[in-house]
Structure 1
Amino acid sequence: MKTSVEMLENTDLYQFTDEGNSCQILDPATPRHWYNYLWNEDRYCAQISQTGHGRSYFLSEKADMCMINQNDARYVYLRDDESGSCWNIGKGPLNAEVENYSCTHNISYSEIRSEKDEIEGSWRIFVPQKGLYEMWTVTLCNKGEQERNLSMFSAVSFSLEGFSYPRYYEMYRCMNTGFQSELNGIYCDSAHPFAPHEYYHGFLASTEPVYAYDGDLTKFCGSLSTLTMPDASACALFQRPDVVVQGRDCTNSEAALFILGGVLQHKIQLQPGEKKEIHVLFGISQSCEKAIEVVEQYGSNPEKVQQEFEKAAAYNYEKISSLSIKTPDEKINHIMNNWVKKQADFCIVGKKGVRDNLQIAVGLLNYRQEKAEEEIIECLRHQFRDGHAVLTWYPYDDTRYSDQPFWIIWAVCELIKETGNLALLEKKTAWQDGGEATVLEHVKAAVDRLIADKGENGLVKIFFADWNDALNVTDDEEAESVMLSHQFCLALRELKNLMEYAGDHTYAQFLEEEYKKMKCSINQAAWNGNWYARALSRKGDIGTKDSKGSKIYLNAQTWAVLADVADDEKLPELLRSVDEMERDFGFPLNDPPYQIYDAHVGRMSGMLPGLFENGGVYCHATGFKILMDCKVGRASKALQTLKKIMPDSEKNPSSRSGAEPYVFTNCYSTHPGYYGKSYQSWTTGTSVWCLMGIYEGIMGVKRDYEGLKIVPCFPAEWENAEMTRHFRGADYHIVIQNPQHVENGKGSLFVDGKPCLESVLPDFRDGKMHEVEVKISQQ
């Protein structure tokens, strides 16, 4: 099995352009689909692959989904009506060869370009700042010397699914498609009796005259190009649609019940050197009349498309522009300036879970403070009065995971640090099970829940699972989580500091006593001589030298350091044990992987060894390790760890991992049959933990109750770095100088040219930019 890095071929699949804000893919045959996500604050989202296909969906304020297209069908076909030659600008799904292909995934748009038979084509997709639709602009240019007559086919499927309903009430039973002349496109109407909102109506329309259309995908793709699904519904296959490849025109079909979609055919005549643009709108609407209003505003004003494009681009840059970094490492600059912030932003769109969204929200506090506050308050609404919370509210899952209360306490503390606004603690917020309480009462309920959940060793019970969804000690209701108990220690200390800042010294003292008890219990019951156990159980502790299968778990060590549970005697042994877990491209979640299923451990042991939580390099958890390194002053270790799990890393390039080279992934496999490969990118907490690792850990720019704190853990490899940060109504340009290449040296601080004796900057709140210089020297 070829698993060594040296055996990999160097492939020129992509390049960063536009100062890192764009990733230009140079070959459509990427190891797997490389996606971009485009969305707006109205919660419309379009997923775009390097060929242009992908899903489009809308998620209402109450998290009711409308998946607009089925099987990610979004395609543009071109055909020379004289020669019969046909192709896609992005090569797929026809897979006809094209020349000079590129796909530019940008922060604000995606654009695919190619040439075929002297026709140059581009297909740009963006989501306007407002509205529940996406805009396509297809530009065609005749680079030859002869007149060309082309057909262009825009094709989508319609699904409009994504919500719960009684059996046999499938959406397709309630749908029909028809061409509406005022819309200049196909409208997919629905009348579902259980639809949770009024936007379950799709449309595909154009600003240019439509020559022909199809609302029945059987007519477009051909009756033999369908895959029959249960209950007689079907979904069309788009690899070789009959109308396109047989040189025919759309049939002007309309349909009800089966394989509904929208296909618009345009006839385009191009003189030598002539260029033409076709604008297409795809989305959902409350009614056909509302969809017509959307299309008319573009049809009567062709320049509005570009205006909306520029407005959306400006907004997408502006919302993440307050935080930036410049280091000696260009890849870090490219990923950490905008892509990681876009990825974290998307996680708020793509995830609806208390644990997940609170972590993302705390990362967002670095650059989108208002959005982060909104998200933290939203998560509190899904907490029960007894202190625990749902796992996710879309889809709804209230399985008893034990760790939700910790994330609530931690996130609220970080929010108050960021804003300095103690009044937020008195803000009234609903409970999941009715009624409302102040934010502080929500936090206290979380504390009470974790205290009440203590087991016989004094640690917090794990219940179905904690942070690790796949660690399910279901054969022992009294099993205790060491990781969560570490986290509770951190929460108790953080909340103690907040209460002291707020003047509640009585409650602060109570929290301090609880911290001491929990820390003592952990060290008495969970220390294994060289590392901490992961879980304690009467039926056998998990993650110890004597455990069956896996012996050590990463998270039980990293959080022991983050929470100051490991004392000076234990710390060196713990760090040595963590370092021994290191792999080419990160740190496995547990080591060694389980070789056979163990009901005592649950789901993770049922996976192949080295996959996902069973010994895979779980990048999210490696992100915790970066901050652990920074806490103990191991700056170079922190940087090396970050670079190991960066997209397209030196030891695990995207040509092997398969993951996009511009966003973080959730994990890499250590299984020989899937070695180095990634499963899922974009929707992973890895993004914010790596963001915090670089900005808060290595650069050391941290929020605190008194103001912005500067305590770098700067690597010896770097001579300098700089960043900008918005904080409480002021902006800071922070330059760190390390001329002697000192590892985690002492920083002398200067603000606007004047020495600052404290590590906390003055809390200016004056709307101005302030210059901060940190000069690092030996301790």
Structure 2
Amino acid sequence: MTRKKNDNQFIGNKYGFFDIKNKEFVITRPDTPSPWVNYLTNGQYHGLISNAGGGFSFYLSPRDSRITRWRYNSMPMDRPGRYIYLRDKASGKYWSLTWQPTPHARYKKYECRHGMNYTKISTEACGVQSEATFFIGEDNLEIWLVRLKNKKNAPVSLDVYSYAEMCLGHALVDLINQPNDKHFNDVHFVRDAQFLISSKRYWVTYSSATVAQANKAWNKWVFMASTLPVAGFDGAKDVFIGPWRSEENPVAIEQGVSFNTEITAGDAINSLRCPIELPAKGELEFCFMLGIVDKTGDDMEHTRQAESAASALVKKYRNLNQVKSQFQMLLDRRDDYLSAFQAQTPDPELNLFINMWNQYQTKTTFQFSRDASYHHGGLLFGRGYRDSCQDTLGVIFTKPQWGRERIIEMSARQFKDGSVYHCYYPLAGGGERTGHSDTPLWLPMIVVAYLKETADFAILDESVKFDDGGAASILDHIIAAVEYLKTKLNDKNLVYIGPGDWNDTLDYCGRAGKGISEMNTCIYAYILREMSDLLRRIGRAEKADEYENLYNVIKKSINENLWDGEWYIRAINDLGDPIGSKDSPEGKIFLNAQSWAVISGVAEGERAQSAMASAGRLCKTPKGPKILHPAYTQVNGNIGLATRCVPGKKENGAVFNHPVSWAYLAELLLKHADTAFQYYKQALPINPVVDIDRYEMEPYVYSEYVTSPDHPTFGQASHAWLTGSSVWMLRNTMDYLLGIRPTYDGLVIDPCIPAQWKSYHVARRFRGCIYDIEIENPGGVSCGVKSITLDGRPLAGNIIPPQTDGKKHKVKVILSDE
């Protein structure tokens, strides 16, 4: 359990703490249980970096346009990365400024600060103190800004080496066909401008394995430069590292030389050597830069054009004032992003996450989907349609334009019949159509959310092409999704499960086309209700009535066919066997079946209470409710992969944070403030329940799941960062716990808070204005609004009407259950 050290610091665990003032997580020792990672991005050029300097970079797609290498499952782990070596010329000692890959060096100091899209790693060795700041500027290049300080009373002569191992194009081909793929690599040194430039003469963008040979080059050049004069360089990995060696002891650094290698085939690296002199107690600041420019052709003329474009960027960023200006711009953008929602409540952990880390994680999932992490390679599958839609919910309140652009992008991934790609390839095009029934429904979900946030109804008239030809308005796109689901209803108006629903491991329930999903059906019901409301507001009453009637038919069917006495059945397979029933030998209750019945309004009254109470009782763990109970111990070929997972992990009984977030929402909708807040607190990554060495993952972001007590490694987390749980935890807390929720008519004030809270404050940006909201709770209630004033004027009801003057407005709310 964390504790507050002072107003600006949380003690997180033995590896680090939260610096509230600077909005950073500070890692104080490098040997974390696993690499603790951060994301660098400008929206196009992306990178991952660990607390030890590991990670990789890519442009738009981590599969199709990978810039640098990172070896999955490598030993030592987390290799390679962005490395800056220092070598003392007098002693021959050398070390990396990021701890790895030279942990043998005697470091007197180590500290890593992960901030929003930047990382600072500070070390001290051999009397030299360093700080390396990694970030990406507005142009498509990453900056490695270094500050050195000589702590000794004598001058020191050093060589500084940069190091990055190159992928140069298609990462999967590089990984599995490296002996052949490396024959197309080019690295050469541009002598007059003093930078390395690299590319590949062969580029695959196929979405699946094939013997076909692409006859094209990668469309990028990579360059590496420094603000320091360059004395040497290397482009050949085998020469720089040497045989039977690793990044820990490169022969070039050991000998204090560069071999000045340029290659037309072989494993490519970018390394520059720059000599520096540090006077006694002296300081020096410099940077390396690694970036990309377009390749428009293979001949020398086009190469010279690329070199010219790279030279212009190198010239721009060799000005350290420009580099510092770029970093300040990044900090300013961070503050603007976070300013759309800030809360001060009696709970410091909630404040910490809602004001910074939860927002940052949802921004990251929006930009990276499930493409690139230390757990998602982004190599085999395309970008998830469902993921990319729901991630939009986490950014529309602060960057509505991003939401608008994503809606248009997702509409273009739809087919004329209303179906969509389940996974798609943003750079290569195309995708995979799997037949998942729920996937098309996430498009209307985000359109409705966007409209409630912005009132930008003009988007409904935007014309967007279908993937298979023709075009339609956004309104017709989302209607097409709803109409498509009609074809997925059985004779009882329940939605087929097909190859799975949100739970992709219930993948053999419906392969014969008969199995149904309660969750799919509830999501469809939810969308029908939302669409009916929208259509009525825009004058489409007939269609609104149709969807409302279908909603009621489906609601009745679920309650007649899938109620099991105390909770809802999760699915019925092709054989007619219920999944998640009291009569099931294992997997008797599923969390999602209960929560989505409540979220959709299908479950009301006693059934809603019973369903969530049953889930809370049977799925209970110290880290939140499990995805199902009891875990499967026998493989069932008519259910799917969930039964093949070991009990307590992944979809077989783990504490899956995404379903936990929906249970949290369901309890908020039922006004169960204590249970809801308990789920919220249990799920926070800052509260691992077990020792941090068992938990392993980053304590500043949600992980996909936490191992439940059904497995001996209870408390071990996995798949940090890129999880849909982040966006739902954020929006549930903003909209339903703190209770400041966008609607078509304005901001609804409808809290569901711990009764012991006496007051709290929220600043919320909404349609161009800032609402400064003070909520007082003199009677110690959890729910209920007694009065609201807007700029001193009393309001009727609990909706703040949208203001149009672009100013800050003062809102005062008094809670009462009377």
Indicate whether the TM-score tops 0.5: yes
Q: How far did 1:199 drift?
A: 4.2
Q: How far did 1:474 drift?
A: 4.6
Separation of aligned partners in 2, 1:368 and 1:547: 46
Separation of aligned partners in 2, 1:257 and 1:598: 50
CA-based RMSD: 2.2
Separation of aligned partners in 1, 2:282 and 2:561: 77
Q: How far did 1:392 drift?
A: 1.7
Distance 1:484 1:305, change over 3 A: same
Counterpart residue number, 1:620? 658
- Which amino acid counterpart does residue 39 of structure 2 have in structure 1? Y
CA offsets 1:19-43 (integer angstroms, 9 cap, x no match): 26111111111111111101013x1
Q: How far did 1:165 drift?
A: 8.2
**Are the counterparts in 1 of residues 169 and 218 from structure 2 also a CA contact under 8 Å?**
no
Q: How far did 1:334 drift?
A: 1.8
- Which amino acid counterpart does residue 450 of structure 1 have in structure 2? L
Counterpart residue number, 1:480? 516
CA offsets 1:457-506 (integer angstroms, 9 cap, x no match): 32000111111111112543211110011111111111111111112211
Counterparts of residues 190-339 of structure 1 (less than 5 Å): 190-192=200-202, 199-225=219-245, 237-244=246-253, 246-286=254-294, 287-299=306-318, 301-339=319-357
Separation of aligned partners in 1, 2:192 and 2:634: 63
CA offsets 1:348-371 (integer angstroms, 9 cap, x no match): 221232211111112222222111
Separation of aligned partners in 2, 1:466 and 1:108: 33
Match of 1:174 among 184, 197, 204: 184
**Are the counterparts in 1 of residues 750 and 783 from structure 2 also a CA contact under 8 Å?**
no
Q: Does 1:109 align with 2:118?
A: yes
Q: Does 1:632 align with 2:670?
A: yes
Counterpart residue number, 2:436? 401
Which segment drifts farther, 368-377 or 17-26?
17-26
Q: How far did 1:59 drift?
A: 0.5
Which segment drifts farther, 22-31 or 449-458?
449-458
Counterpart residue number, 1:596? 634
Distance 1:535 1:183, change over 3 A: farther
Distance 1:20 1:665, change over 3 A: farther
SS at match of 2:220: coil
CA offsets 1:243-266 (integer angstroms, 9 cap, x no match): 22x333121112232211011112
Which segment drifts farther, 93-102 or 484-493?
93-102
Match of 1:550 among 584, 587, 598: 587
**Are the counterparts in 1 of residues 154 and 281 from structure 2 also a CA contact under 8 Å?**
no
SS at match of 1:570: helix
Match of 2:528 among 478, 481, 492: 492
**Are the counterparts in 2 of residues 70 and 158 from structure 1 also a CA contact under 8 Å?**
no
**Are the counterparts in 2 of residues 32 and 658 from structure 1 also a CA contact under 8 Å?**
yes
SS at match of 1:742: coil
Counterpart residue number, 2:136? 127
SS at match of 2:154: coil
Counterparts of residues 705-716 of structure 1 (less than 5 Å): 705-716=744-755
Which segment drifts farther, 390-399 or 20-29?
390-399
CA offsets 1:72-109 (integer angstroms, 9 cap, x no match): 43211122221222222222111023122110111142
SS at match of 1:575: helix
Distance 1:107 1:358, change over 3 A: same
**Are the counterparts in 1 of residues 496 and 510 from structure 2 also a CA contact under 8 Å?**
no
Q: How far did 1:538 drift?
A: 4.4
Separation of aligned partners in 2, 1:353 and 1:763: 34
CA offsets 1:145-164 (integer angstroms, 9 cap, x no match): 12212221110011023378
- Which amino acid counterpart does residue 16 of structure 2 have in structure 1? Y
Q: How far did 1:64 drift?
A: 4.9
- Which amino acid counterpart does residue 711 of structure 2 have in structure 1? P
Counterpart residue number, 1:88? 96
**Are the counterparts in 2 of residues 298 and 304 from structure 1 also a CA contact under 8 Å?**
yes
- Which amino acid counterpart does residue 53 of structure 1 have in structure 2? G
Task: In structure 2, list runs of 5 or more residues that go unmatched.
Answer: 1-10, 72-79, 206-215, 295-305, 370-382
Distance 1:760 1:346, change over 3 A: same
Match of 1:185 among 179, 195, 199: 195
- Which amino acid counterpart does residue 268 of structure 1 have in structure 2? I
Counterparts of residues 139-154 of structure 1 (less than 5 Å): 139-154=147-162
Counterpart residue number, 2:53? 52
Counterpart residue number, 2:212? none
Q: Does 1:748 align with 2:766?
A: no
**Are the counterparts in 1 of residues 772 and 808 from structure 2 also a CA contact under 8 Å?**
yes
SS at match of 1:389: coil
**Are the counterparts in 1 of residues 143 and 289 from structure 2 also a CA contact under 8 Å?**
yes
SS at match of 1:344: helix
**Are the counterparts in 1 of residues 573 and 639 from structure 2 also a CA contact under 8 Å?**
no
Match of 1:651 among 689, 700, 708: 689
Q: How far did 1:218 drift?
A: 1.1
Separation of aligned partners in 2, 1:632 and 1:591: 22
Distance 1:158 1:534, change over 3 A: same
**Are the counterparts in 2 of residues 697 and 713 from structure 1 also a CA contact under 8 Å?**
yes
Q: How far did 1:612 drift?
A: 0.9
- Which amino acid counterpart does residue 174 of structure 1 have in structure 2? F
SS at match of 1:156: strand
Counterpart residue number, 2:606? 569
**Are the counterparts in 1 of residues 28 and 112 from structure 2 also a CA contact under 8 Å?**
yes
Match of 2:720 among 681, 685, 688: 681
**Are the counterparts in 2 of residues 20 and 335 from structure 1 also a CA contact under 8 Å?**
no
- Which amino acid counterpart does residue 18 of structure 2 have in structure 1? F
Distance 1:171 1:333, change over 3 A: farther
Separation of aligned partners in 1, 2:441 and 2:139: 37
Q: Does 1:432 align with 2:442?
A: no
- Which amino acid counterpart does residue 201 of structure 2 have in structure 1? A
Q: How far did 1:201 drift?
A: 1.9
- Which amino acid counterpart does residue 211 of structure 1 have in structure 2? A
**Are the counterparts in 1 of residues 196 and 224 from structure 2 also a CA contact under 8 Å?**
yes
Separation of aligned partners in 1, 2:634 and 2:232: 59
Which segment drifts farther, 641-650 or 160-169?
160-169
Counterpart residue number, 2:4? none
Separation of aligned partners in 1, 2:108 and 2:470: 62
- Which amino acid counterpart does residue 41 of structure 2 have in structure 1? W
Counterpart residue number, 1:3? none
Q: Does 1:560 align with 2:560?
A: no
TM-score of the two chains, using structure 2 as the length reference: 0.89
Separation of aligned partners in 1, 2:17 and 2:446: 37
TM-score of the two chains, using structure 1 as the length reference: 0.93
SS at match of 1:717: coil
SS at match of 2:800: coil
Distance 1:198 1:518, change over 3 A: same
- Which amino acid counterpart does residue 576 of structure 1 have in structure 2? A
Which segment drifts farther, 376-385 or 683-692?
376-385
Q: How far did 1:342 drift?
A: 1.9
**Are the counterparts in 2 of residues 459 and 480 from structure 1 also a CA contact under 8 Å?**
yes
Q: How far did 1:636 drift?
A: 2.1
Separation of aligned partners in 1, 2:812 and 2:408: 35
**Are the counterparts in 1 of residues 88 and 159 from structure 2 also a CA contact under 8 Å?**
yes
Q: Does 1:507 align with 2:543?
A: yes
Q: How far did 1:18 drift?
A: 4.5
Separation of aligned partners in 2, 1:303 and 1:776: 52
**Are the counterparts in 1 of residues 738 and 752 from structure 2 also a CA contact under 8 Å?**
yes
CA offsets 1:207-251 (integer angstroms, 9 cap, x no match): 1111221111111211223xxxxxxxxxxx31322222x333121
Q: Does 1:530 align with 2:566?
A: yes
SS at match of 1:721: strand
CA offsets 1:155-204 (integer angstroms, 9 cap, x no match): 00110233788997965332111221234222113222657896432222
- Which amino acid counterpart does residue 278 of structure 1 have in structure 2? F
Separation of aligned partners in 1, 2:465 and 2:392: 19
Distance 1:548 1:121, change over 3 A: same
SS at match of 1:201: strand
Q: How far did 1:428 drift?
A: 0.9
